[in-house]
Each structure stands twice: as structure tokens, then as C-alpha cells.
Amino acid sequence: MSSLADASGTQDRVSPVKPLPRTRRRPHILPYALALPIVLYEIALIVYPIAQGIYGSFQQIELASNSPPTWVGLANYQRMFSDPDFWQVMKTTLIFTVLVIIVAIGTGLMTALLFNRDFRFRSVARAMLMLPWAFPEVPVVMIFVWILSPQFGVVNILARMIPGVTENPQWLQIPILAMGWVVLISSWKAFPFYSLVILAALQSVPQEIYEAAKVDGATPLQLFWHITIPSIRTTLELLVVLASIFSFKQFTIIYLMTGGGPSGATETIVMRIFNTAFRFYDYSYATAFGVAGFIVSLVITFFFISLQSRRAEERA
Amino acid sequence: MAQITTSTRTLYRRPKLVPTLRKIALYILVAGVSALTIFPIYWMLVSTFQPSKFTLHYPPPLFPQEITFNQFAELFANHPIALWIRNSFLIATMSMLLCTSLTVLGAYALSSLRWKGRSMFGLFLLVTQMLPEILIVIPLYVIYRRLNVLDNLPALSVVDAAFALPVCIWILKGVFDTVPTEVLDAAVVDGCTEIGVLWRIVLPVSAPGLVAVAVVSFFSAWNEFLFAVIMLSSAKFQPASVGLTTLKATGFTPVEQYMAAGLIFSILPVLFYLIMQRYIVTGLTAGAVKG
């Protein structure tokens, strides 16, 4: 691209001198003064509580009795690793996260390819597609609870079309269906965002490459695998990591749809931390689970950062 | 010559049918995908405006049979929804003011100033942005309990601002980046201080970015559920996001009022998010992808 611009001479006309990098001004105390309040603020409200949580995972905290916490060493961790539920929760978290990534990014990619084509009312259709993303989570849950009502839910009309289904299913009482719906609802809410990002990436692929390949007799499938996918690959990788963070964090939808049930079928680690702390009031044990969740999210964040810096290098 | 004419003719003839079919397939596909995507929202509207004698019936009619507007008055009469919205509004406004003013500082430091800690600062923001809220909620609950600020609206808005801050900084940094360096340089040469550059030049031309930041910080607090449900326990401080979930629990709320409540709660965030989507997407990807 840049070599093309150089060849046509446009770059020389716009700025005869190579522009200085953006960050050219003298070093100063000012940026530190600007950043300091933000760093302090985030330390007070995010870093310090997390440190407290890690510290608390080595203690036994009884909030109700107001007695001082006692130091118990690794007891909470010993309990956690010997708890068969721990591995179950980890497995559920993995299944939920992977399914949401596949469904949400898959749908996002397909809709982006579709909406990248030319048709009338395209801008209207695109705006409509963004609606689920713009909706707050609580009303989204309200809508789906109503749609899935075994008594009057509209989705039953569809289910009844399947041969053999003569009664409205108890959608959220059957483990596999409950998991399916939580994944679908989370993906429905998330996919427009991925679609929009992929669409932006698709539009930056130069059309000439496609034209050239078509002249050479490439089939649409070949165009997709050899041009489209490689050109949006870094964007897709970035979105996979981002989606794994977003779905790993997911709380509101699962909590309000199933609460982690039926019998733990949708209990991800985030749900487990909540239930342990605020349903069973076992704060210390919950913080041990919290540390496990913290480590997982740090690992995903690390992937995000390394992908992002690779992307920045590619651009430069 | 003859060869050329035949090939032009086949080229000309074949496309006539195939593209038409393709075009039709494309429209059917677009219509199908759009219908499937917005059906839940359509159903929310139908269930809001249709009297429940039609909705509470299996199978429900797919198109509204009758329209009513009484549900809104009944909703406000039967439930403290005005109080919930007031609480949400207070939390969101405080969070917005706090977050937006801090964002201006952070975005300026990240965008146009050169300093050693810059990339560390960006990394710090990124990590805090990615951490799940659930990790903070338990220890913060213990800390707030000790400080005696549970059931306190400003104390909650401070947390909401902390979680919106990194995204907001990325959004505004992206906007600040578009101000040409030459303009900033010229101002400094003319004797303007760095703060003066921010105040007199960068901020006035970044108005849409500031609006986007205000929208994100306001509505992330407005929509927030987890901290609100844990930190606020008394009914008089309940914000709408928590209040709405009690409608279901009581079980006696008629469907059209239940859905009307959801609609009232969603209308502002949906509107503003759609208007500002371009900026918000950039912020959510931490500036890695230009939306």
C-alpha cells in the first residue's frame, strides 16, 4: 500500500518532509502528573482489593461473627484442589467459553461477509444488526426468560415443529438445554460487536487482489481461503482472545438465567465465586477460587497483549 | 474476430440469470439473518404493547392483535420504578463526571506526550480493563463494610467509574491521536503551555470523543448489575438494573408491565450506544482495531 502511494507521488505532495513522530515533545513532569491520579485510582479500587483477596485466601474470614480473621495458610487451596467440584467448574468454564467463542465469532464472521456485499438498505440492516449489542444485559435476560417460558414462551412454537416434541420443554431445567441457551444468549448479545470489527477489517482488504485472482480463475471458495482469511487473520486472532476474556467474565446473563444450575450445569468459575461468597457466605473459600480465576484471566490478558504488539509491529 | 464475439456473447448471456438468482438469494439471506437477530427485540415490543389476554395464551399470536398503552401508567403506580430510575441516574451521573475528567488526563498523557512510563501506563490500563469484576467484588465488599460505605450511592459510582476508565481512555486517546501534531507544535511555539494546548486546542476539536466517553461511562454505570446487587441492600437505594430483577421474583407483575419496564430501562442506552458505536468499538478493543 505505502509503496503504491509513494509511486504515485501523492505522499510527496502532501508532506514533503517526513512527518515527525507524534510523540516528539520534550520530556516533562507533566505526563506523570496526569497519569498519577489514574494509577492511584485504579490501584485503590482494583489492584488493592485483588491484593486483599489474595491475602484473604490464606485466612479464614468470618464476616457474620465479626471475629478477626485467622491465618490458615494453604488450607483453602488444599480444600479447593481436593474438591471434585473445582475441576467440574473449570470444565464448565472451558466449555462455556469455547462454545461462546465459536458461536459468536462464527456468526460475526458470517454476518460480516454477508453485510460486506452490496445491497439496498445495507446501512439500515447493519444498524439493526447492532441492536443486541446495544441492549443492556438485564433486559436481555428479561426478554429471554419470557421467550423461554415453558407455559407461554414463543420459542415453543419452533420446538413443537420438531417431530416427537409434543410438550413445551423445560428449557432451563435440562442441563444441556440450559447450557445451550446461556451460550446462545451470550453469543446473541456479543456477535454484533465481532461482526462490526470483522467488517472493518474486510473493508480494508484491497479489492484489486480479488479482481486479479478472479482473472486467474480462482473460485469463490479459493478467494475466501487464500485471500479473505489471511487478510483478516490477525483481527480474528485478536477477537478470539478478546471473546475469551469477555465470556470468561460473563456474570449477569448466567446468574439471572440459571444461577449456575440446573445442578451446576452452567456454573462457571465466576458463578462459583459468587455462589460460594454470597449464597453460602464462605468468603475465604471464595477468594481461593478468585485467585484461580485471577490467574486464568492474567494468562488470557497476556495473550491479548502479545497479539496486540505483534499487530502493531505488522502495521509499522 | 468470430471467436471474440462468441466469448463476449456467452459472457454477456450467462450473467443475466445467475446474478439475478444470486441477488435474490442474497436478499433472502439478509432478511433471514436480520429477522432472526432482531426477533427477541421484536417480541419484547409485541409483549409490551399487546394486552396480556393475547400474550398469555399458547401458541401466542406472532403479530400484535391489539395495542394498549395502559401498562406504563400501571407500572409506575404499582412499582417504585421512578425511584429506581432516579437512583440509576444519580449513580450514572456521578460515575460519568468522575470518569470523564480522569479520562481527559489519561488520554492526553497517552496520546501526545512523550515520557518513559508511557507504555507501562498503557499496559497497566489494559490489565485492569481485562480483569473480571467478580474478583474485586468480594474483597471490595469486605473493605466497604469496614469503611461503612455499603448502601451508599457515591461509593458505588466510584467503583463503576474505575471499571469504565480504561475503555474510556482508549476511546479518547484514539480521538486525540487524530489532532495533527503540527497544530500542537505551532501552539507551543506561540507560547502556549502543554496544559493550554490540551484545554484550548485538543479538547475543543475532540468534542465527539468526549461525548462518546460520557456515554460509555454513564451507561456502563446505568447497566451495571453485579456491584449494585452486592453493595446496595436497602430498597430505597436500589437502582433500576437491580429493581427490574425483583419484578420477576414477585411473580405477579403482568407481562406487559414487566416488558415495559425493560423497554424503559433500555431505550436510552440503546439509542446512545448506536449513535456512538464507532468510538465505543475502538475503546473495547483497546485501540487495537479501528472500528
Cell triple for residue B58?
A: 399458547
CATH number at residue B142: 1.10.3720.10
Residues B59 and B101 in one domain: no
Asked whether the beta carbons of B108 and B213 are under 8 A apart, the reply is: no
Question: In the predicted model, what is the mean pLDDT of residues B149-165?
Answer: 94
CA distances from B222 to A72, A135, B141, B214 (A): 40, 12, 20, 12
Q: Is A41 on the interface with B (CB under 8 A)?
A: yes
Domain stops at, among B68, B103, B120 = B68
pLDDT over threshold 50, residue A13: no
ipTM for the complex shown: 0.86
How distant is the alpha carbon of residue A39 from its chain centre?
25
Q: How confident is the model at residue A10 (pLDDT cuts 50, 70, 90)?
A: very low
Q: How confident is the model at residue B152 (pLDDT cuts 50, 70, 90)?
A: very high
pLDDT over threshold 50, residue A153: yes
Q: How confident is the model at residue A1 (pLDDT cuts 50, 70, 90)?
A: very low
Q: How confident is the model at residue B84 (pLDDT cuts 50, 70, 90)?
A: very high
The type of residue at B46 is V
Residues B226 and B271 in one domain: yes
Residues B59 and B135 in one domain: no
Q: How confident is the model at residue B118 (pLDDT cuts 50, 70, 90)?
A: confident
pLDDT > 90 in chain B, percent: 42
Residues B143 and B266 in one domain: yes
CB-side neighbour CA atoms (13 Å) of A141: 24
Q: Classify residue A168 by its DSSP letter.
A: -
Q: How confident is the model at residue A131 (pLDDT cuts 50, 70, 90)?
A: very high
Residues of B in contact with A248 (CB under 8 A): 132
Residues B268 and B133 in one domain: yes
Count of structural domains, chain B: 2
At B214-243, the pLDDT tens digits run 999 999 999 999 999 999 988 899 999 999
pLDDT reported for residue B16: 65
Q: How confident is the model at residue B6 (pLDDT cuts 50, 70, 90)?
A: very low
Q: How confident is the model at residue A4 (pLDDT cuts 50, 70, 90)?
A: very low
- Using the beta-carbon criterion (under 8 Å), do B270 and A131 form an inter-chain contact? yes
Cross-strand partners of A59: A71
pLDDT over threshold 90, residue B284: no
Question: In the predicted model, what is the mean pLDDT of residues A196-214?
Answer: 88
Residues of B in contact with A125 (CB under 8 A): 30, 34
Q: Is A281 on the interface with B (CB under 8 A)?
A: no
Residues B149 and B23 in one domain: no
H-helix or E-strand spanning residue A71? strand A70-71
d(CA B278, CA B291): 5
Q: What is the dihedral of CA B272, B276, B280, B282, to 10 degrees?
A: 170
Asked whether the beta carbons of B233 and B150 are under 8 A apart, the reply is: yes
Domain stops at, among B41, B68, B95 = B68
pLDDT reported for residue A192: 94
At A213-244, the pLDDT tens digits run 888 888 888 888 988 999 888 889 889 998 99
> How many secondary structure helices (H) and strands (E) does chain B include?
15, 0
Which one of B20, B97, B135 would you mutate to disrupt binding with A, by most A Cβ within 10 Å of its Cβ?
B135
Q: Is residue B290, in this structure, part of any structural domain at all?
A: no
Q: Is residue B289, in this structure, part of any structural domain at all?
A: no
Domain stops at, among B53, B68, B83 = B68
Cell triple for residue A181?
A: 441457551
pLDDT reported for residue B14: 53
Q: Is A293 on the interface with B (CB under 8 A)?
A: yes
Q: Is residue B53, in this structure, part of any structural domain at all?
A: yes
At A58-99, the pLDDT tens digits run 988 877 667 778 888 888 898 889 988 899 999 999 999 999
Measured between CB atoms, which of A22, A133, A293 is closest to B112? A22
pLDDT over threshold 50, residue A204: yes
Residues B256 and B124 in one domain: yes
Q: Is residue B225, in this structure, part of any structural domain at all?
A: yes
Q: Is residue B36, in this structure, part of any structural domain at all?
A: yes
Q: Supply the range of the domain harboring residue B36.
A: 2-68
Full set of structural domains in chain A with CATH? 84-315 (1.10.3720.10)
Min mean pLDDT across A68-72, A123-127, A297-301 is at: A68-72
Question: In the predicted model, what is the mean pLDDT of residues B4-28?
Answer: 67
- Using the beta-carbon criterion (under 8 Å), do B30 and A125 form an inter-chain contact? yes
Q: Is residue B158, in this structure, part of any structural domain at all?
A: yes
pLDDT reported for residue A98: 96
pLDDT over threshold 90, residue A254: yes
Residues of B in contact with A249 (CB under 8 A): 132-134
Residues B26 and B126 in one domain: no
Residues B47 and B102 in one domain: no
Min mean pLDDT across A7-16, A203-212, B259-268 is at: A7-16
Cell triple for residue A222?
A: 479459493
Q: Is A280 exposed, middle or buried (0-12, 13-18, 19+ CB in 10 A)?
A: exposed
pLDDT over threshold 60, residue B244: yes
pLDDT over threshold 50, residue B291: no
Residues B83 and B151 in one domain: yes
- Using the beta-carbon criterion (under 8 Å), do A46 and B162 form an inter-chain contact? yes
pLDDT reported for residue B289: 57
Q: Classify residue A251 by its DSSP letter.
A: -
- Using the beta-carbon criterion (under 8 Å), do B126 and A301 form an inter-chain contact? yes
d(CA A162, CA A146): 21
pLDDT reported for residue A258: 92
Question: In the predicted model, what is the mean pLDDT of residues A258-276?
Answer: 91
pLDDT over threshold 90, residue B163: yes
d(CA A186, CA A250): 8
Cell triple for residue A1?
A: 500500500
Question: In the predicted model, what is the mean pLDDT of residues A282-298?
Answer: 90
Asked whether the beta carbons of B107 and A16 are under 8 A apart, the reply is: no
Instruction: Identify the closest residue of chain A to B114 by CA–CA distance.
Output: A23
Residues B143 and B251 in one domain: yes
Residues B177 and B88 in one domain: yes
d(CA A274, CA A252): 11
